[in-house]
């Protein structure tokens, strides 16, 4: 074999063993590479740790900023509109209308800032009276005074837009003559009319069933459209029927119309000349079944409407109801002594309940003794509003004009275009923007949200399944009944 190669070192010139030198050189090389890799890992590790730390700091800053903004929004919401609306994402604030040069301009400013919610409009019944419920043969964008009776036609889309209407409870009304007969079918037909015209004009109307839905529709520039069932006779004393109307979208029921139901008295029972032989016996308010109707409405989240009912019925409902009530179209009895209006003692109970009285524009409920004038005017409607405000507070009054449901209205409030004029009158009397917003819609929406909250709290309860016995003074009043 050959001898191993001989190498010389750089420093001494001594001859060294080539194998040893080669091993040492290779070891040193590997050691150097290992050290480099270790250094690289340290550098990358440090960079990674720095990035993680920076991300953690950034997240912490975002959390702090979000919490601060949330607290500020909640605080401003509470001061401006009450705790019921703190969760709304849209900035519902009290507007600064100082730029307005006239009271009417200021009224427009307010009504542009928050939805005006009217508690009662009978347009659906006008479709039945004048168009046989045919929605598609009527142009709601035209002046309906030229098509229908001008004395009772107060509503069309141009007028509603001019009047700054933000949301409307449309009345599902059928006459008391249908009581014990075909009230349920007729009420379903009127509900169908409402849904048809809301669907026909989607650029104007949006069907809503919640308080938040009203606000969302207004934000989108549409008139939130809700349904109120005007009269307990429409459920034919059936809690199952009541539940089905709720499922179809009804969000308030007027406990009676101007006729008794087997479980509640209407306002005529308070009049001195009430005839029990003709009108039926009094119940002295709500019967035991009537109380269950109120509780089932609470459980569902349906607003209890006490317009049209007797004083004793109001008092019983206020005692039973777990949620705030509404009077969708009633005014102040002490100012105008009509029994369709709300008496002072009941107004005080309504404040305790947290409800809202939505003032009616019908001149017979506005202009009577002890404040009877030759000509009913807008100013008298403002008087009713101020009377309620002064007696129980600004948080318990709203608007429920009753347009298209009455034959005459005060001068200055001829139709749905005139709401701003009423607000301008109140501005002249010293009302500020926040109180005007409460009148317009904040009060009603507060009540609506509270009713929804009560419904949530009662959600664990089963439906009430009580049955109202069929008892009427005259058996001939039940020709369509079966014993199924």
Residues contacting residue 378 through CB under 8 Å, at least 6 positions apart: 410, 411, 412, 413, 418, 421, 422, 425
In a domain, 78, yes or no: no
Task: Map residue 451 onto helix, strand or coil.
Answer: helix
Asked if residue 265 and residue 117 are part of one domain, the reply reads yes
> Among the options 85, 122, 415, 425, which is catalytic?
122
Distance CA 319, CA 291 (A): 10
Domain containing residue 297: CATH number: 3.20.20.140
Asked if residue 457 and residue 317 are part of one domain, the reply reads yes
CB–CB of 217/198 below 8 Å? no
Asked if residue 463 and residue 416 are part of one domain, the reply reads yes
Domain span at residue 250? 95-469
Asked if residue 103 and residue 34 are part of one domain, the reply reads no
pLDDT higher than threshold 70 for residue 435: yes
> Among the options 233, 308, 338, 384, which is catalytic?
308
> Among the options 85, 118, 120, 296, which is catalytic?
120
Asked if residue 413 and residue 342 are part of one domain, the reply reads yes
Q: Give the burial string for 272-283 (b: 16+ CB within 10 Å, else e).
A: eebeeeebbebb
In a domain, 302, yes or no: yes
Asked if residue 437 and residue 318 are part of one domain, the reply reads yes
Active site residue 308: yes
Looking at residue 386, what is its pLDDT?
Answer: 98
**How far is Cα of residue 268 from the mean position of the Cα atoms in its chain?**
30
Asked if residue 349 and residue 460 are part of one domain, the reply reads yes
Cis? peptide before 437, omega within 30° of 0? no
Task: Tell me the mean pLDDT in the region 281-286.
Answer: 96
Looking at residue 55, what is its pLDDT?
Answer: 73
- Per the structure, the count of domains in the chain is 2
Query: How many other CB atoms sit within 10 Å of the CB of residue 454?
Result: 19
Last residue within a domain, chosen from 48, 67, 86: 67
**371 class by beta-carbon count within 10 Å (0-12 exposed, 13-18 middle, 19+ buried):** middle
Asked if residue 145 and residue 34 are part of one domain, the reply reads no
CB–CB of 333/310 below 8 Å? no
Distance CA 252, CA 440 (A): 18
Ramachandran sector of residue 7 (left: φ over 0; alpha: ψ -120 to 50; beta: rest) = beta
Tell me the pLDDT of the chain averaged across its residues: 87
Identify each DSSP E strand in 360-415 by its residue range. Answer: 397-399
Active site residue 402: yes
In a domain, 51, yes or no: yes
pLDDT higher than threshold 60 for residue 81: no
pLDDT level of residue 65 (50, 70, 90 thresholds): low
Asked if residue 220 and residue 171 are part of one domain, the reply reads yes
pLDDT higher than threshold 50 for residue 298: yes
Write the pLDDT tens digit of every residue in 255-281.
Answer: 999 999 999 999 999 999 999 998 889
Looking at residue 463, what is its pLDDT?
Answer: 98
pLDDT higher than threshold 90 for residue 236: yes
Predicted TM-score (pTM) of the model is: 0.82
- pLDDT above 70: percentage of residues in the chain: 79
363-369's contacts with Cβ under 8 Å and 24+ in sequence apart are 363/406, 363/408, 363/409, 363/410, 364/338, 364/406, 364/408, 365/330, 365/331, 365/336, 365/338, 365/340, 365/341, 366/331, 366/336, 366/410, 367/336, 367/410, 368/336, 368/337, 368/338, 369/336, 369/337
pLDDT higher than threshold 60 for residue 472: no
> Among the options 156, 172, 386, 402, which is catalytic?
402
pLDDT level of residue 34 (50, 70, 90 thresholds): low
Closest to 343 in 3D by CA, of 316, 314, 369: 314
> Among the options 230, 386, 404, 452, which is catalytic?
230
Asked if residue 150 and residue 10 are part of one domain, the reply reads no
> Among the options 329, 338, 383, 425, which is catalytic?
329
In a domain, 172, yes or no: yes
Asked if residue 347 and residue 265 are part of one domain, the reply reads yes
Task: Map residue 347 onto helix, strand or coil.
Answer: helix
Q: Give the burial string for 390-422 (b: 16+ CB within 10 Å, else e).
A: eebebbbbbbbbbbbbbeebbebbbbbbbbbbb
pLDDT higher than threshold 60 for residue 68: no
Active site residue 460: no
CB–CB of 196/135 below 8 Å? yes
Identify each DSSP E strand in 11-64 by its residue range. Answer: 15-17
Distances (CA, A) of 401 to 358, 413, 481, 482: 8, 9, 37, 40
In a domain, 474, yes or no: no
Residues contacting residue 431 through CB under 8 Å, at least 6 positions apart: 423, 439
CB–CB of 300/243 below 8 Å? yes
Looking at residue 437, what is its pLDDT?
Answer: 98
Task: Tell me the mean pLDDT in the region 61-78.
Answer: 46
Looking at residue 471, what is its pLDDT?
Answer: 62
Task: Map residue 167 onto helix, strand or coil.
Answer: strand
Asked if residue 372 and residue 242 are part of one domain, the reply reads yes
In a domain, 318, yes or no: yes
Distance CA 371, CA 365 (A): 11
Higher pLDDT, 483 or 184: 184
In a domain, 189, yes or no: yes
Task: Tell me the mean pLDDT in the region 115-136.
Answer: 98
pLDDT higher than threshold 60 for residue 27: no
pLDDT level of residue 300 (50, 70, 90 thresholds): very high
Active site residue 265: no
Higher pLDDT, 372 or 478: 372
Distance CA 130, CA 417 (A): 22
User: To which residue do tokens 């308070």 refer?
Assistant: 270
In a domain, 207, yes or no: yes
């Amino acid at each position: 074999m050959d001898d191993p190669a001989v190498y010389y070192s750089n420093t001494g010139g001594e001859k060294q063993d080539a194998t040893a030198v080669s091993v040492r050189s290779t070891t040193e090389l590997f050691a150097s590479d290992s050290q480099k890799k270790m250094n690289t890992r340290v550098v990358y590790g440090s960079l990674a740790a720095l990035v993680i730390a920076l991300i953690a700091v950034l997240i912490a800053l975002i959390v702090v900023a979000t919490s601060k903004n949330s607290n500020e929004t909640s605080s401003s919401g509470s001061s401006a509109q009450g705790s019921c609306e703190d969760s709304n994402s849209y900035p519902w604030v009290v507007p600064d209308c100082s730029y307005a040069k006239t009271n009417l301009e200021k009224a427009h400013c307010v009504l542009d800032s928050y939805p005006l919610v009217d508690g009662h409009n009978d347009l659906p019944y006008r479709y039945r009276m004048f168009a046989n419920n045919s929605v598609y043969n009527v142009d709601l964008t035209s002046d309906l005074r030229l098509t229908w009776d001008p004395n009772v036609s107060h509503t069309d889309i141009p007028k509603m837009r001019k009047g700054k209407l933000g949301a409307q409870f449309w009345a599902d009304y059928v006459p008391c003559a249908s009581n014990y007969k075909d009230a349920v079918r007729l009420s379903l037909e009127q509900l169908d009319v409402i849904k048809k015209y809301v669907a026909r004009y989607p650029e104007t109307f949006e069907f809503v069933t919640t308080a938040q839905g009203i606000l969302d529709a207004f934000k989108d520039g549409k008139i939130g459209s809700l349904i109120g069932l005007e009269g307990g006779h429409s459920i034919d004393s059936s809690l199952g029927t009541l539940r089905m109307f709720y499922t179809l979208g009804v969000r308030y029921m007027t406990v009676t119309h101007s006729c008794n139901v087997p479980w509640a008295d209407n306002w005529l029972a308070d009049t001195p000349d009430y005839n029990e032989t003709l009108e039926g016996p009094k119940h002295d308010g709500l019967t035991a079944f009537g109380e269950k109707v109120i509780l089932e409405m609470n459980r569902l989240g349906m607003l209890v409407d006490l317009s049209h009912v007797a004083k004793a019925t109001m008092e019983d409902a206020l005692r039973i109801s777990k949620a705030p009530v509404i009077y969708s179209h009633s005014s102040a009895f002490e100012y105008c002594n009509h029994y369709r209006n709300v008496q002072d003692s009941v107004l005080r109970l309504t404040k305790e309940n947290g409800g809202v009285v939505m003032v009616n524009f019908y001149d017979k409920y506005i202009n009577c003794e002890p404040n009877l004038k030759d000509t009913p005017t807008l100013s008298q409607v403002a008087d009713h509003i101020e009377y309620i405000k002064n007696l129980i507070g600004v948080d318990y009054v709203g608007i429920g004009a009753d347009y298209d449901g009455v034959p005459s209205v005060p001068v200055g409030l001829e139709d749905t275009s005139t709401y701003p004029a009423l607000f301008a009158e109140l501005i002249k009397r010293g009302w500020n923007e926040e109180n005007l917003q409460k009148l317009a819609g904040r009060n009603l929406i507060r009540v609506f949200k509270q009713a929804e909250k009560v419904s949530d709290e009662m959600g664990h309860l089963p439906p009430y399944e009580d049955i109202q016995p069929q008892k009427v003074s005259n058996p001939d009043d039940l020709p369509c009944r079966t014993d199924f």
